[in-house]
Structure 1
C-alpha cells in the first residue's frame, strides 16, 4: 500500500515557498489558495507553505492576509513538478503594481498556529488541546516591560508570587488551572531562569492548558499546563526597530531589534534583540537593573536543510520582592488584609541587599526535509541560571507578640503580626542540557491523512549550591502604625524582651548583614538528574472534518540524589475533533496525562528512620469544548470545561519531630470553565477578552487539608480585557485609544483546618492608553492601575503588586 501511495504522489505536483511581509511582521497564518478550487493552505510561523498532490494543469495562486494586499500569479504544473513560488506582501495602505487591495483590517491580536504547541503542523481548530497565544503586537500595544504583565492577557492564569531570585526556583510562579507553574519552556525546549524574564525577544507566548506530560515531560510543565515563549527569528531583508520607554518609579528602558542578511543570497540572516532596563520600586526600597542581549542566526543551506541558532544573555540585579510568609501549622491571628494592617509602601529591605541572577540560553536547531512526507528536526539546548546575593523573607511567628502588662494603653494587642526576618547569601547555579530528535510526517494511508511525530528526548540538570544557611536578622511588627512609633510594642526575641521604635529591629546594611552571615553554615551540595524519553503522537483525519489524536510517552527518570533512585513512567494522551463547519467551527474533547517524579522520603519513629522510595504522581484531565474562527477571521473564540484529578499525592502525618509518617494515597480535584474571545468587530477595533472559573479541593489525604482549597488554586473567578481602537478617518488617522484591565475574585491564600483562612480581597485594575502611529513612528502614553487599587498575590504568602504608574513609549522602525 505504501508503494502505491508514493507512486500516486509522484504523479501529481507540489507548490511550496515562503511569504514575507514588508513591515517585518511575522508572516504566519497567511492564506495561499489555488483560485477556483478548494485547494489551499496557511503558512506556518516562519511564513513557509506547501501544497501537495495537485493535479497537473494551469492555476492561479492567490496569497492574502487580512489587512494586507493580495497577490496573484499564474503557474503551470506538469506531472511530478515541485516548484517554488515566494511572495512578499504589503499592508493594504500601499499602492503597488499587480495588487488586489483587501479592504478589511487584520485581527492583530489573533496568532493561533505554532507547531511547537503540538510538535505537529496543526491549526488551532484541529488541535484538541486548548491554548492561548499572546502576540508581540498585544505586548507592544500595552507597553509591557515584564513577563508578569504579559501573562495577564491569558485567561485561567494568575500570579502566585513574583520572582524571588532564589537558586533553582527563583522565577515567578503562576496559577494555571489551579496548579503552580513557572515559565520554563523556550521554543518548546527547556529554558530555565532564576529571575524575571525580559520580553524584548518575545514573538509570542503560548499558555498551553492542561497536563502536557506526553509531549513535554515533567521538567517544564505542571498539572495545569505550561508557559512556552517563542522568540523572534531572523528574516531575509534589512530592518529593525528601536524603542525608548520611560515612566513612574524611575523607569528607563531602551530596546533594539535589528535584522540583516549576511550574504547576497540572503541565506544567512542575523537578528539581534537587546534591552537595557532600570526601574525602582513604588515601595520605600527596591530596584531592578538588567541588560539583555539575544542574537539569533538562521542559515538555509539548501531547499532541504536549514539551521537556526538562538541565544539569550541576561544580566539582572535586583532586590528580592517583599514576601510575607503566613503560618502553615498554627491558627492565624488575622484573617484578611484589613486585620493585618499592612502598609504596602514598606519593603522591609534595603537597596544594599541585592541579588544577581544572570542567565544564559543557547539553542541550536536543524531542519532537514527527508522527502515530501517526512521532516527531521534536531534540537540541542543549554541553559545556565545563577543566583548570587542576598535573599530574605519575613515569616509569621505568632508567639513573638505578647501583651505588655506594664503599658496598659496597649495591653492585649489584637491586631497585626510579628514576622521574623530570615536571610541567607545565595550562591547557586543550575545547568541544564536537552537534546531532542523529532521525525515529523504528513502522509496519507488510503484516504486518511496522518500527521505524526516520533521523538527522543534527553534531559540533564545539575544544581550546585554553595550558599549559606539562613540566619535571623531581627523581627518586624506589622499592624497599627501608631504602635510602630512608640516604645510599647514588645518582641520576645530571646531574653529579655526588646523594645523598638520603628516596628523593625533588623540590621539592613550590607556590612551588618555580612557580619551576621559570618557565623552561618555553608552548603556544599550538588544534585544531578537525567531523563530519557521517547514519545509518539499521531493525528488521523478519518474525514476532512473529523480527526483523532493518540499519543504516548515513556519516561525514564534517574536521580543521583538521596542515594539514587530511578523511575519509569507512561503518559498517554487522546483527543478528537469534529468540525461541523470546516475551518470555522470545531467541537473537541481530550484526555491528557501529566506526572511528577517524587523524591525518596524517610519515615521517622523515635530514633528509627525508614527510607521509602515513592511512585510518580499522576494527573488525568478530561476536557471538552468548542473553538470558533468566524467572519473571515474577525472572531476567534474558545470555550471549554475541564476536570483534572491528581492521584498518588504524597503527604505526611506529623505528630512530632520524631513521629512522621508519609503516605501516597492523597488526591486532589480541580475543575473549571474557560472562555477566550479575540475579535475585530469593526475596522480599527481589536478586542481580547477572557474569563476563568476554577473550583479546586483536596479530596483525600491529610485531615488538615481534605475538603479545603489548595493554596496554589488562586481565585475562583478571574477575567481579562484589552481593547484598542485606531481611528479610520483622515482627520484622526494614526491616533488610537486602548482600555482594559483585570479582575480577580477573593483568593484564599491560606486555607486548612490547622490555620483557618486568610483571604486576599477581590480587585479590579483598569488600564488605559493613547497612541499615535505612522508606518515608521509610534508614540504611546500608558496609565496602569488608574484607580490606584491595592493589589496582592499570594501562595500562603502576601506580596504587594504595583500601584498606579504612567509610562511613555516611543518607537522608530527602519
Structure 2
C-alpha cells in the first residue's frame, strides 16, 4: 500500500509518532508521588511549589491543585509545599520503586517562605518554571495561560556563570539584543527586539523598575520574557508591541544562609558578589536579605586605552509577616556605574549605501579591535529603585496586594559616538563633486548629558479572587494603577572632529576628555532638552473561567486615561489627554490534562500619539492612539512527568493608526495621515528537557516576518530597520554527574544564531546589513555542598559579529572567566 501523503508530510507524521512513542516509553515504570493541594475550605490551590527535600525533584500544582513528582527510586522522602500567602508544610512519605503513592496537603493561610532546598543529582527538568504569579497578575500555571512567555531561572544563570540580565536574555527564544546600555537617564538599559519590535527591561516584580546601566543579575531569581502586546495588564508606557521583560527578584526566607563569590577573567574582568539571608527575630517573622556585586571590566577593543565599565549593585530586601494573613516586603535596588559607552557607529541618514562601495558590516574598512577614541570620555550613571509590597489575605479566597514603586535615574558625562561617512557625501558637504565609492573617514561625535534625571512613580492595587460561581471556578484580578513619568533631561553635543579610518600609526586617542572640553569651551554646543511630565490612570480586570476540567477561557479589559502635561521633547509638546481601551481574550483546551494544552489568544496594546495633526484638507484632525492587535495560537506540552516542556506558537500582529507624513503644504507645514500599518507575524518554539538523568536541554527557535504597509514610500513594503534578524535560535545542553564521587561535576555547551539584520532599509538610502552570526559558549563547574567552582568561555570560535539598529556595534571576542563561591 502506498502512502498518499507527500514525502515532507509523511516525514513529519513519522517524526511525531516516534516523538510520542518516546514520551510513552519515558512514562513507563516510573516511581510517582501524586496528590492534591487545597485550602481549609477544600478549594484547590494552583501554582503551589511541591518539592522533595535533598533532591532537585519539584513541580507546581495545576489548576485543580494536583501535582505529580517523578522519583529516581523508591524510598522515604520529605515532601514540602509552599505557596505565597500560606504557611509552608512538610510531610514524610514512603514510596515503593515503580509504584505510585498519593499524598494530599491542606495549607493554612500565612506567608512564611523557605528557600527551595535542592541537591543536584536526581532526574528533574530543573530549567523549567511551570507557573508565574506575574504574567497573568495571578497565580497561573503555564499550561493554563493562553499567553506565551519564556522563563530563565537562576539555576541556568548559575550554570552558565551569567552576571547580567543582558547575558540572561540569550536563553530566551525570539529575543535579540540590539543596543548596548548607554547609561543615559531616560533610556539607559539595553534594547532588544521581540516579534519585530523594540523592547527594554522596565519592570521588576510586575511594576516599574528601570535601570539605565547594565542590569546586574545578583538579585535575579528569574527573568520572564512575556511575548506580544500586553497593555491590558501592564499598560503601554513600560511595554512594547513585542512584549516586555519582567525581572523577578530573590526574596528573604526563614533560615540563615547565602554565598560569597569571586570571579576574574579576560579584559581585566573582576567581580565580587554576596548573597546573605538571615532571620531578625526568634519567631522568624522578620527576615532580611542582601544581594550585592562589584564588577569591573576593560574594553576588549584596545584594552587600557579608552573603554571600561565599573558597576556597583546593592539590593537589600526586608520581609515582615506579623500575622498569617499579612506580609510586608520592602526592597531597594541601588546601581552606580562609571563607564565609557560601547562604540556605536552610525550611517548618516543622507548617505546612500551605494556610495560606500560595500553593503555589509564585515566588508567595512573598520578595524574590529580598534577603539577610535581616547581616555576620559566617561559618564556617571545612577539608578535607585525603591519598592513596597503589602499583601493581605482577606479570606481563603480573596487577597489584596498593594505595590508602591519609585524609580529614579541620573546621568552626567560624555557619550561618544561615530558616523561612517562615504567619500562622496563628505565631498558634497564641501561642494565638491566625487563619483568614486569608498569610505576613508570617520566622524567623531559626542552627545553628553548634564544633571539629567528621570523619575517614575507607580501605585498599583490588586484584588485577587479564586472562587466558585455557579459551580465554575473563577480566578479574578481587579486592578487600579497610577503611573507618573517625570523627565528633566538635557542632551548636548555635536561633531568634534573627522579622522582617517585605519591610517597607519594614527593617534586615535586625540578624541578624549581634553579635546571635547576644549571644543565646548570654544563654541557652545546645541542642547536638546526633554522635560515631559505624564500621568496615566488605569483600571483593569481579568477573569480565568474553568468551563470544564479541561477547558478554560480568559477575558480581560483595561481602561487607560493618559494625561501628558506637555513640555519639551527636543521641541515643544502641547499638553493633551487621551483615553484608550485594551481588551484581551484567551482560550485553553487540554486534550491530555496537565500534559498537553491547545491555546489561542487575542492581545492588544496601544501607543498614545500627539493631540492633533494637519490632514490633506488642511484641517486639524484629532490623533487616535496607535494600536497593535495580535492573534496567536499554539500548543504547550508538559510531558513525561514534566521532564519535557515545550511551547510552539504562531502569531500575527497588525499595527494600525500609524501616523505618517505625506507631504508639505504651501506654508511649509507637514501634512500627515493616520493610516499607516505594520505587519509582524511569525512562529516560535521554546523547549526544556531532561531526557536522561543528569542531562538538561534548553532550546528555542523564532521566525519573524515584518513589513511596513501603507506608509512613507521610503519604507513601504520593507522590513523595518528596528525589526532585527528574521531568524533566531538558541540552545544549551549540560550534563551534571548525578551520583558517585564526582557528583556535582558538570559541563555545558550552547550558543545563539541570528540571520542577517538589515539596519538600513530605505528606498532612498539602500540596504545595509549586519551579517548572520553563530556564537558558541561553554562552561564547566563542580558544585559541592559548600563550594562551587566554575569556568566559562564565551564566543569560543572568536566570531566577529555585530548588533544594532541603525548602528554598527562590534561585539566582544573570546573571553574566559573563572569563579569560586563559598556557600553557607
TM-score using structure 2 length: 0.85
Query: Would the alpha carbon gap of residues 45 and 697 (structure 1) be closer, same or farther in structure 2, given more than 3 Å must change?
Result: farther
Q: Does 1:319 align with 2:340?
A: yes
Listed one character per residue, the Cα deviations across residues 706-745 of structure 1 (whole Å, up to 9, x for unaligned) are 1100011111111001111012352533321110000111
Paired residue secondary structure (2:776): strand
| 1:350 counterpart = 2:374 | yes
Contact 2:485 2:534 in 1 (8 A): yes
Does residue 277 (structure 1) correspond to residue 298 (structure 2)? The answer is no
| Distance in structure 2 (CA, Å) of the matches to 1:462 and 1:74 | 51
Tell me how far 1:165 sits from its aligned partner: 2.0
Pick one of 277, 280, 287 that aligns with 2:308.
287
Q: 1:238 to 1:92 in 2, by over 3 A?
A: closer
Aligned match of 2:365: 341
Aligned to 1:556: 561
Deviates more, 1:730-739 or 1:237-246: 730-739
More divergent stretch after superposition (687-696 vs 282-291): 282-291
Match of 1:583 in 2: 594
Counterpart-to-counterpart distance in 2, 1:610 and 1:425: 39
**What is the CA-CA distance between 1:105 and the residue it aligns to?**
1.8
Contact 2:220 2:247 in 1 (8 A): yes
- Say if 2:391 and 2:400, in contact at 8 Å, map to a contact too: yes
1:759 & 1:671 partners in 2: Cα distance? 21
What is residue 76 of structure 2 aligned with on the other side?
Answer: none
- d(CA) in 2 for partners of 1:547, 1:296: 37
Q: Deviation string for 1:545-588 (max 9, x for gaps)? A: 10000000000000111231000000000000000011110000
1:137 Cα deviation after fit? 0.9
Deviation at 1:601, TM superposition (A): 6.7
Counterpart check, 1:390 vs 2:414: yes
Q: Deviations over 1:408-458 (max 9, x none)?
A: xxx975332534222132021110100000100000112210000010000
Structure 2 residue 143 is the aligned partner of structure 1 residue 125: yes
- Structure 1 residue 275 displacement after superposition: 0.2
Whether contact under 8 Å (2:636, 2:648) holds in the other structure is: yes
Which residue is equivalent to 1:502? 506
In structure 1, what is the equivalent of residue 534 of structure 2?
529
CA distance in structure 2 between the aligned counterparts of 1:432 and 1:805, rounded to whole angstroms: 37
Q: Which moved more, 1:511-520 or 1:688-697?
A: 511-520
Going from structure 1 to structure 2, the CA distance change for 1:665 and 1:83 (only over 3 Å counts) comes to closer
Is the 1:780–1:810 contact (alpha carbons within 8 Å) kept by the matching residues of 2?
yes
Shift of 1:791: 1.0
Q: 1:130 to 1:33 in 2, by over 3 A?
A: closer
**Counterpart selection for 2:60 from 5, 21, 29:** 29
- Matches for 1:79-90 after TM superposition, within 5 Å: 90=117
1:546 is aligned to 551
Q: How do residues 701-712 of structure 1 correspond to structure 2 at under 5 angstroms?
A: 701-712=711-722
Cross-structure match for 1:244: 262
What residue ranges of structure 2 are gaps of 5+ in the alignment? Answer: 1-38, 70-78, 567-572
Aligned partners of 1:14 and 1:50 also within 8 Å: no
Instruction: Quote the Cα distance in structure 2 between the aligned partners of 1:330 and 1:610.
Output: 35
Measure the CA separation in 1 of the matches of 2:68 and 2:370.
65
What is the aligned partner in structure 2 of residue 407 from structure 1? none
Q: In the TM superposition, what is the alpha-carbon distance from 1:472 to its structure 2 partner?
A: 1.4
Partner of 2:238: 220
Mapped partners of 1:294, 1:24: distance in 2: 29
Q: In structure 1, how many angstroms separate the alpha carbons of the residues matched to 2:606 and 2:351?
A: 31
Are 2:109 and 2:396, in contact at CA under 8 Å, matched by a contact in 1?
no
- Indicate whether 1:421 and 2:444 are aligned: yes
2:731 aligned with 1:721:
yes
Q: Which residue of 2 aligns with 1:490?
A: none
- 1:118 CA displacement: 0.4
User: Do 2:265 and 2:816's aligned partners in 1 also have CA atoms closer than 8 Å?
Assistant: yes
Matched, 1:621 2:630: yes
TM superposition shift of 1:611: 7.0
How far apart are 1:520 and its partner, in Å?
A: 2.2
Give CA-to-partner distance per residue, 1:451-470, whole Å, 9 cap, x none.
Answer: 000100000010012x3522
Report deviation, 1:296. 0.4
Is 1:767 the equivalent of 2:777? yes
Question: Which of 315, 327, 330 lines up with 1:306 in the alignment?
Answer: 327
How far, CA to CA, are the matches of 2:313 and 2:54 in structure 1?
24
| Distance change (3 Å), C-alpha of 1:48 and 1:720 | farther
Indicate if the aligned counterparts of 1:14 and 1:82 stay in contact, CA closer than 8 A: no
SS of 1:473's equivalent in the other structure is: strand
Q: Report the equivalent of 1:453.
A: 477
Hey, what does 1:6 align to over in structure 2? none
Whether 1:371 and 2:388 are equivalent positions in the alignment is no
CA shift in 2, pair 1:783/1:441, >3 Å: same
CA-to-partner distance for each residue in 1:729-771, whole Å, 9 max, x for gaps? 5253332111000011111111111111011111111111122
- TM-score under structure 1 normalisation? 0.86
Is residue 520 of structure 2 the alignment partner of residue 517 of structure 1?
yes
Per the alignment, in what secondary structure is the counterpart of residue 375 of structure 1?
Answer: strand
| CA 1:655–1:328: 2 relative to 1, 3 Å | farther
Aligned partners of 1:620 and 1:646 also within 8 Å: yes
Task: String of CA shifts for 1:390-409, please: whole Å, max 9, x gaps.
Answer: 012213444554499xxxxx
Matches within 5 A, 1:582-731: 582-600=593-611, 613-653=622-662, 658=668, 660-731=670-741
Q: Does 1:164 pair with 2:182?
A: yes
Question: Retained in 1: the 8 A contact 2:493–2:527?
Answer: no
RMSD: 3.5
Q: 1: distance between equivalents of 2:111 and 2:252?
A: 20
Residue in 2 aligned with 1:740? 750
> Partners of 2:753 and 2:281 in 1: how far apart?
50
SS in structure 2 of the partner of residue 513 of structure 1: helix
Report if aligned partners of 2:60, 2:67 keep a CA contact under 8 Å in 1. Answer: no
Paired residue for 2:456?
A: 432
Deviation at 1:63, TM superposition (A): 7.7
User: Structure 2: how far apart are the matches of 1:744 and 1:731?
Assistant: 40
How far residue 90 of structure 1 moved from its aligned partner, in angstroms, is: 4.9
Change (3 A) 1:161 1:91: closer
